[in-house]
Every structure is written in C-alpha cells, then in structure tokens.
Amino acid sequence: MKAVLNDRETQLFEGLTRDQLLASHRCMLLSRKLDDKEIMLRNQSQIFFQISGAGHEGVLAAAALTLRSGYDWFFPYYRDRALCLALGVTPLEMLLAAVGAKDDPASGGRQMPSHWGHTAYNIVSGSSPTGTQVLQAVGAAEASVIYSRVQQIPDRASRFNEDELTYVSLGEGATSEGEFWEALNATCVRQLPILFLVEDNGYAISVPVEAQTAGGDISRLVRSFPGLHVDSIDGTDFFASLRAMREATAYVRARKGPAFVNARCIRPYSHSHSDDEKLYKTKAERAAEALRDPIPRFTEFLRANGLVTDAELAAIAADVEREVNDAATLALAAPKPSKSTAEQWLYSPDVDPTSAAFETPAQPEGKPDTMVAAINHTLKDEMARDARIIVFGEDVADVTRKDALAVVPGKGGVFKLTHGLQRLYGDDRVFNAPIAEAGIVGRAIGMATRKLKPVVEIQFFDYIWPAMMQIRDELTMMRYRSGNTWSAPVVIRVPIGGYLRGGGPYHSQSGESIFAHCPGIRIAYPSTAIDAAGLLRTAIRCDDPVLFLEHKHLYRQTYNKGEYPGKDFMIPFGKASLRREGDHVLVITWGALVQRSIVAAQQAEKDHFSVAVLDLRTIVPYDWDAIAAHVKRTNRVVIAHEDQVMCGFGAELAARIGGELFEHLDAPVKRVGAKNVPVAYSPELEEAILPQSSDVLKAIRETARY
Ligand SMILES: Cc1ncc(C[n+]2csc(CCOP(=O)(O)OP(=O)(O)O)c2C)c(N)n1
C-alpha cells in the first residue's frame, strides 16, 4: 500500500494522505471505544456519569484537520470527544475525568466527564449549562482582536496568532437559548473570528428538532446575519464535513468574518446513560439513523477505495482496544482527590486580596469629591497602568460613532462613571455592548480566560438577572471547576439600590445576599468615595471575580465625599471600617445604611446610648474578626441593611453571631431592612418600604433597653 496517493486520488480524497485518512479513522474509533468503555464502567458503578460523542465522530475528526491545537481557541461541548482526542487530550486523561481522579487535567475531579478543558491545547473549561460557552467564545475571539490592536499590551505578541480562530460547538437544542442569539448578534456586530459548529443530532434529549427550532433547521434561520458564512452539511459524511470545515475556517482565518456550520449527526447511544431513546424514537427511526453511522460509513469508504485491508482494520481496532484498556487500568488505579482539598481553588492561591499587600497608604490629592469622581479617576489610573483592562457595557463609551467624539462631550455611562475613558484609551478598550447582560458577563469571562482584565458594567442591578447563569454557573466556578487551570477574574461594576424617590421596583433593587450565596465571587459594597477608590483598585488588581456594588444614591452625596487617595491606594477585602465609636450597641451595616445608621446613632446619644457603627465595606469576605471583637465589647447588636430582612445578608450574620458569640450577647440580635415587597414608585411607599434612620434608631433603643 502506498503512503501518498496519486493525483487523481488526491483530488478524490480531498488532498489527504492515506496515513491521514487512517489516523482520522482511528480517532473516530478511539472516541467510540472510549464511550463504550465508559458505559461499561458506568454499568459497573466504577464511574458515575456518562455522556457519549457517538454519532458525532465524522464531523469532529474532519474539523480537527482544519483546526490547530494550542493555536486556535476551543469551547467544545460535551459531545466533542473525537475532536478533543485529535487536539491532544489522551484517553487516560479522559478516563481520569470519568473516575473523578485527582490528576484529571480538566477539573481535578470537580466536573463530570466530557466537560473538556486543557490549557496545553487552549481548550477552555466547559460546563453543563447548554449554550453558556458560546458567549465565552465570543469574548475569546474579541481577545484575538484586542491583542492584535492594542499595542500597549507588553506581551501581546505571545498571546495571539494573526490568523487564529475561536471554535465553539453546541447542540441544535442549545441554539434555542437566548445566549446563543446574544452571541451570534455580538459576533456579527463586531465581525469576530469565530467558527460556530452546531452538531445537530436531531434531538435535545427527547425533543426533536422541529419542536426546538422554527422550521427545523437552524442554518436557515441564521442566514440573514451580516457577514456570516453559513453552511449546512451531513455531519456523518467525513468528506462533506471536511470540505465545509475547510471553507469555513479559511473564511474566518482570512478575517472575512465569522462562520457557522450546521452538521447533521446521529445520536445512537441515547442522550446519556440515564436516558433511553426507545421511549420516544421508533424502531424504524433508529434503524434509519444506524445506516448513517459515520464510523461504518468511513470504514466502508476506506475499504471500497482499497485504502485499507480487513487485516489492517482489525489491527487498528485491536490497537485501539488495547489503548483504551490500558488507559482504563491506569485511571481506575489513579488517586482520588483527598477530602481535605474539597474547598481548594475557590479563589486564586497566589493573589490574596485580603492580605497586607493590598493595604497601601492614601496619598490624597485635590479637593474632596464624589464617589462618581473617585471611581472614574480610579478607572482612568488603572487603565493607564494596565493596558489589558477592557471596559464595556451598555452606554459606557463616550460615543460609538467616532466622528462625533471631536464635537460632543460624550456619554460615558448613564451615571457618568466611565466618562472620558474612551477618549483616553480608545475604542478597542472602551466600547458599548448590545443590551444583553448575559452577553456582557459571558464575553468578559471569555476575555479573562485569555488574560485580559475586563471591568464591565451592568447598567442597573435590577437588570443583572439575564447574566445570572453566567455569574452563578460560569464566572464563580471557572477556577474551582477547572482545578485551578482556568480562571475568570472579571470585575462587574453594578449601580445598586434605592432611596431615589421615584426609582420604582426596577431601579431600586438590592440583593447582595443572592450573590453572596454563590461561592467563588468577591463582593465589595463601598459607602464612601475613598473606599470606592481603594476597593475598586483591589478588585481590579486581585485575581478573583468581583461584584463591585455602587450605590446610586451614594454616588453624589456630600457626606461621603473624599479627596482622591492616589493611584496606588488599595483597601484589602474583608476589613471593616469603624465609622463611629460606641460602647452600648453595635450597628453592623454597609452601603446606604451606613449614613442612616450614623444619624440614628447620633440621635441615640440623646438617650445616653453610645452606639458604634461598623461598615463592612465588603460582603464576601466579611470581617468576622471585627464583628466578633465589637460584639464582645458591646454585647448588643443591630444589623442594618437596605435589602429585605427576609433572607437578607443580615440573616447570615445574625445566625453566625448567635451561633458563635451567644455567651457574649445581652440581647437578641436585631435586624433592620426593607419590607418584603418590591420598592414601590410613590415616594411615600418607598419611604415605608426601605429602612430609614428612624427604623435603625428604634432597633437601637429596643436592643439597648432589652
Ligand atoms: C441551561 C440548561 N438547560 C437544561 C439542561 C439539561 N440538558 C442537558 S443536555 C440537554 C439537551 C441538549 O440538547 P442539544 O443542545 O441538542 O445537544 P445534544 O445533547 O442533543 O447533543 C438538556 C435539556 C442544561 N444542561 N442546561
């Protein structure tokens, strides 16, 4: 058998050598046999979950020939076993994930198998929510563009390749997710170098494509997106797939725009080990699918064209069998993570924002100014220091149409926090995003995995909810779920809170406790201009995701103004500030309730109650040492926050104080917060709903007199 084909055959076989064709065959077979092995191990309860790539091997083996491991960027979904094998992930590494081993390179035993991740090959850690990876891929592709354009990034040349692309794959079911459409829109708005591969196996668990996608073919729906190269192919046909993927990748690499390929596959092994497709697919349908199985199809092609003998096929199969069995033997014997490591890798093990390194002295300059000025100034200084900082969100740019910049003052955010940043640092680093909050956070995650430093804005806390999936399931978990191999240290700045007289239910919300319930994110909540500057700088310079809550009502007050504390001033996270000394009652508070508590404390003085006010400044982590020290001194505690009392963060503090400091208490812990209703528009109602100084005063008196 000859190693290289003649001209006629070269044309016929798409220019691939016999060795390449046999390697693709082996890759497909290896993928299938690994699935078979995992299914067997699952039936023996030696692994705990199985989801197969069976039926998808054809398009993936073909795609692998057009993609470059460790050069392009990859956001594969769980059926991409064949692709990941071709990129370099070994059968042993895959099985280490299946057994939940300590040395599983994708997650160190944190994630289910087939949730790929490998830093050596630029395979970014993937998760289980259908479709979240698509927005992150957009961010990764934006990183390509940013690295290619922002000359000030010192090591940018080592961080991208001129013609690299970002590959992202998903099932046809996942295209129903809003995040998919947000991603496609953002991609086409910016004409990013992305290749979307939809692996359409006709079903999303039990739901067939016609009930999932209008008209039953996603490629028809996306054809009107400007600049998008669209193709639709039989993904069980290796050569049709290869042609389509070559065309698509060439289009993207030439920077003509993004590409989209819909590849129709089959899914012969049901959705996962816990599904049985016989419950909803007829025998006839399953038989018809079996005829399209890409592995027998490709094997038959090789045999029919005299490229391989039966004996050679048998030898390949035996070799694959041996490789899979050897890998399984090693994986089953591999050490599991020790129980003592269960809490490892929630945060960066290298950069500790609670440490003394983040306690730097203020060097005040200028006149006392507002929190808006302090945050704006900090952003300007930090962006000058680090060209990897990227600011985007809704309305954050000065202008989108650059010509206008010379003749208009610029918007710079609905609250003006980002005003002038675009003018200073250009529109590659400061730009507007479509109104798509999941998109803002998801794209930021993708950028952060490529070591940019996104500092994004969600316009109002009330509208953070579309991003909740990206925050809760992606941002906060990236480091943990990848065993510290990937991280997403994004800063999300969010105007929050009420007391606006007329903010109504959708411009007044609080809700920090909801995010405090998401392990893996830090939460800062400054109440003064100086704290805002110091905490924002810590947020930006630390290596963890940070939710930076900026109270709208505190933006422009006079009582919390301060002199700008200088371009290196930082406040460590988890260090409360005692705003007022006092011996009888301790008020623990943050945000807009700090000033209200100070006023209440001043009034309580008239009753001869000496009241201390402790401003937590950060919610995660919170300063337990300071709380404990002051509780031991005052023995009486009021917790005052703007958020509803019901499940507010005060509940956590009260429970812990009750549990750990019970013997130091002379009165029950009292909580002050909003009523358990939305914040109503009418100022009278708003006043009744949100906690006022008088409410704090009442609680202080009751606690003091108890
Ligand atoms: C956001 C979200 N909703 C629901 C699920 C549960 N779920 C897991 S896979 C799946 C079907 C996905 O179908 P498709 O995208 O077509 O991919 P396929 O599994 O068919 O390859 C569903 C509903 C999930 N993982 N994430």
Q: 507 an active-site residue?
A: yes
Distance (angstroms) between ligand 1 centre and the Cα of 129 equals: 7
Dihedral, CA of residue 655, residue 657, residue 659 and residue 661, to nearest 10: -170
Tens digits of residue pLDDT in 323-340: 999 999 999 999 999 999
**Ligand 1, residues 130, 270, 469: which to mutate, most atoms within 8 A of Cβ?**
130
Nearest atom, ligand 1, residue 171 CA: 15
Q: Which ligand 1 atom is the nearest neighbour of the CA of 128?
A: 25
**Dist CA 57 CA 445 (whole Å):** 29
Q: Is 526 left (phi over 0), alpha (psi -120 to 50) or beta?
A: beta
| 389 close to 383: Cβ distance less than 8 angstroms | yes
Does the Cβ of 204 fall within 6 Å of ligand 1?
yes
Q: Going by CA atoms, what residue is nearest to atom 12 of ligand 1?
A: 204
pLDDT tens for residues 202-233? 999 999 999 999 999 999 999 999 999 999 99
At 620, which helix (H) or strand (E)?
A: strand 618-620
Q: Is 474 left (phi over 0), alpha (psi -120 to 50) or beta?
A: alpha
How far, in Å, from the CA of 131 to the mean position of ligand 1? 8
The verdict on the CB of residue 202 being under 6 Å from ligand 1 is no
381-404 pLDDT, tens digit each: 999 999 999 999 999 999 999 899
Is the CB of residue 203 below 6 angstroms from any atom belonging to ligand 1?
A: yes
- Confidence category of residue 362, pLDDT binned at 50, 70, 90: very high
Read off the pLDDT of residues 641-679 as tens digits, 9 standing for 90 and up: 999 999 999 999 999 999 999 999 999 999 999 999 999
Pocket flag, ligand 1, residue 205 (CB < 6 Å): yes
CA separation, residue 15 to residues 8, 296, 645, 661 (Å): 10, 22, 69, 75
Contact between 686 and 508 under an 8 Å Cβ cutoff? The reply is yes
User: Residue 508 half-sphere exposure, CB side, CA atoms within 13 Å?
Assistant: 24
529-541 and 371-385 helices, crossing angle to 10°: 30
Query: Would you tell me the crossing angle of helices 18-43 and 294-304 to the nearest 10 degrees?
Result: 150
Does any ligand 1 atom lie closer than 6 A to the CB of residue 115?
A: no
Distance 130 CA to ligand 1 centre (A): 5
Query: Within 10 A of 502 (CB to CB), how many other CB atoms are there?
Result: 11
Per-residue burial over 254-282, b = 16 or more CB atoms within 10 Å of its CB, e = otherwise:
eeebbbbbbbbbbbbbbbebebebeeebe
Phi/psi class of residue 22: alpha, beta or left (left: φ > 0; alpha: ψ in -120 to 50)? alpha
Establish whether the linkage from the previous residue to 495 is cis, with ω within 30° of 0: no
- For the Cβ of 272 lying below 6 angstroms from any atom of ligand 1, the answer is no
pLDDT of residue 1: 41
Confidence class for position 12, pLDDT limits 50, 70, 90? low
- Residue ID of nearest Cα to ligand 1 atom 11: 204
Q: Is 172 in the pocket of ligand 1 (CB under 6 A)?
A: yes
Question: Hey, is 442 helix, strand or coil?
Answer: helix
Distance CA 241, CA 239 (A): 5
Whether 128 is in the pocket of ligand 1, judged by its Cβ within 6 Å, is: yes
For 46, which DSSP code?
S
Distance 446 CA to ligand 1 centre (A): 21
Contact in structure between 541 and 674 (CB atoms under 8 Å): no
Residue of the nearest CA to atom 25 in ligand 1? 129
Query: Would the pLDDT of 587 be above 50?
Result: yes
- Looking at 507, 553, 584, 641, which residue is catalytic? 507
pLDDT tens by residue, 102-158: 999 999 999 999 999 999 999 999 999 999 999 999 999 999 999 999 999 999 999
Residue 412 CB–ligand 1 contact under 6 Å: no
Query: Residue 153 in contact with residue 147, Cβ under 8 Å?
Result: yes
Ligand 1 atom at minimal distance to the Cα of residue 78: 21
pLDDT at 9 exceeding the cut of 70: no
| CA 75 to chain CA mean position, Å | 12
Is 321 a residue whose pLDDT tops 50? Answer: yes
79 lines ligand 1 (CB under 6 A): yes
- Confidence band (pLDDT; 50, 70, 90) for 3? very low
Question: How remote is the CA of residue 53 from the centroid of ligand 1, in Å?
Answer: 14
pLDDT digit string (tens) for 16-27?
A: 999 999 999 999
Spatial separation of the C-alpha atoms in residues 86 and 31, rounded to whole Å = 10
Q: Whose CA is nearest to atom 7 of ligand 1?
A: 130
Q: What is the dihedral of CA 421, 424, 428, 431, to 10 degrees?
A: 30
What is the average pLDDT across 576-597?
A: 98
- At 6, the pLDDT band (50, 70, 90 cuts) reads low
Single-letter amino acid, residue 387: A
Coil, strand or helix: which one is 139?
helix
Whether the predicted pLDDT of 7 surpasses 60:
no
Contact 472 CB / ligand 1 (< 6 Å): no
Query: Would you say 92 and 148 are in contact if contact means Cβ atoms under 8 Å apart?
Result: no
**55 Cβ inside 6 Å of ligand 1:** no
Can you read off the two tokens belonging to residue 4? 């290289």
CA of 174 to the centre of ligand 1 (A): 6
Which tokens go with 627? Answer: 């709380």
> Beta strand 207-208 with 203-204: parallel, antiparallel or unpaired?
antiparallel
CA of 171 to the centre of ligand 1 (A): 8
Say how many C-beta atoms besides its own lie within 10 A of residue 639's C-beta: 29
Which ligand 1 atom is the nearest neighbour of the CA of 203?
A: 20
d(CA 377, CA 375): 5
Q: How far apart are CA 83 and CA 27, in angstroms?
A: 8
d(CA 183, ligand 1 centre) in Å: 17
Note the pLDDT of residue 88: 98
